[in-house]
Amino acid sequence: MLPRGSRPRSYGTFTRRVQRLAGLAIATLFSATLFWALAPAGANAADRPVHIVAFGDSLTAGYGLAEQAAFPARLASALKAKGISATIANAGVSGDTASGGLSRLDWSVPEGTDAVILEFGGNDALRGMDPAVTKAALNAILKKLQERHIAVLLAGMKAPPNMGPDYVRAFNAIFPSLAASHSVVYYPFFLDGIVGNANFNLFDGLHPNPAGVDIIVARILPQVEKLIARVRATRGS
């Protein structure tokens, strides 16, 4: 999400980091893929690190935060603390909508990706975009990822109440419907536990501060572990 008058959409915190981070993610994943290809035949594929792309808007990118305080970095730390081998690439773009995510999917989620945390919708709702448009874009993203055999955790979003009951009802129904139809891992509300609480948000009231990010990570972590378990189960089959 991005308030009016804020800087243009960007990976992470700074606009000029878009291509650098995208290239870094691709290079990292390519290197990992090459390593796996050269690994001994007896190596246990199920034990390889799981490579996850956090794909979303400013809530993923870490708007207003240092890189190490953003959701992907904090999630990676939480997984490491539990002894779970995984990497998290930050493919968040501030100001992006679901349709914007669809347009950059192919280069934001490079070859070698095992799983995606899909987080879009906040900007769609704030701009009052037709829920049917948002749902169609997310549906297309999910289809493309499934065609590539990439596991997905769909993070839900909710429309602000001031959009009116009809809009809220239509928008909020997008995420459980898609989760059911695509059989993906589902987390109903990305901002659960922090929305409307000044202690956990930046001055704009829309984006989490570091304490808010940690709450998001703690609450979504069980679903991320479920996502990783799906990847490993597929490797072992």
Residues serving a catalytic function are 58, 204, 207
Q: What is the DSSP string of 31-66?
A: HHHHHHHHS-TTS-GGGSPEEEEEEESHHHHTTTS-
Q: What are the b/e assignments for 104-123, b being 16+ CB within 10 Å?
A: ebeebbbebbbbbbbbbbbb
CA atoms within 13 A on the CB side of 220: 33
DSSP state of 86: E
Cβ-Cβ contacts under 8 Å for 183 (sequence gap 6 or more): none
Strand arrangement, sheet containing 86-92: 86-92, 50-56, 115-119, 151-155, 185-187
Is residue 155 classed as helix, strand or coil in its secondary structure? strand
**Tokens 């997984």 sit at which residue?**
79
Strands (DSSP E) found in the chain:
50-56, 86-92, 115-119, 151-155, 185-187
Cβ(124)–Cβ(100) under 8 Å? no
> Three-state DSSP class for 194?
coil
